[in-house]
Amino acid sequence: MAGYAIECALKATLMREWHVLTLTELQDVLRDKHGLDRSMYTHDIEMLFSLTRIGKSALDSREPSAQQRQLVRWFRACNRWSVGWRYSGATGDQATCAAMLSAAEPFISHIRSST
């Protein structure tokens, strides 16, 4: 369930950044202002993170700060999550799941504190 918590934290961050109350409003704003024609009803952590201010800054930085490098490490561990893990243990091995769970709490905390 940690993957869903990450997804929700990223969506809530984007909604705060764009001053909207629903995912439909967020989708409309991103389409109208940035030409992004992607559904916000997604589990795509990479896309969601890259749309946040903090994510874009960390991922696009040519000379990332130590804090940005740590954020990207947490993101990479969390981004290995798959919705399929909920239904089949065969998708995620123990080491990958443990790394994701270790990264989830500080990643979410950092995302929440950024807005």
Quick: pLDDT tens for 14-55: 999 999 999 999 999 999 988 988 889 888 899 999 999 999
AA identity, residue 53: R
Question: Would the pLDDT of 106 be above 60?
Answer: yes
Q: Is 87 helix (H, G, I), strand (E, B) or coil?
A: coil
Q: What are phi and psi of 53, to 5 degrees?
A: -60, -45
Q: What's the CA angle centered on 21, arms 4 and 38, to 5 degrees?
A: 60
Amino acid 99: pLDDT: 85
Q: What are phi and psi of 38, to 5 degrees?
A: -120, 145
Instruction: Indicate the pLDDT class of residue 70, thresholds 50, 70 and 90.
Output: very high
User: What is the number of domains present in the chain?
Assistant: 1
Question: Would the pLDDT of 89 be above 60?
Answer: no
Instruction: Indicate the pLDDT class of residue 13, thresholds 50, 70 and 90.
Output: very high
Give pTM, 2 decimals.
Answer: 0.85
- What lies within 8 Å, CB to CB, of 108 at 6+ separation is 5, 6, 9
Domain interval for residue 82? 2-113
- What lies within 8 Å, CB to CB, of 13 at 6+ separation is 52, 54, 111, 112, 114, 115
CA-nearest of 94, 13, 78, 88 to 44 is 78
Distance (Å) of CA 7 to CA 33, 58, 69, 115: 22, 18, 20, 16
Amino acid 85: pLDDT: 60
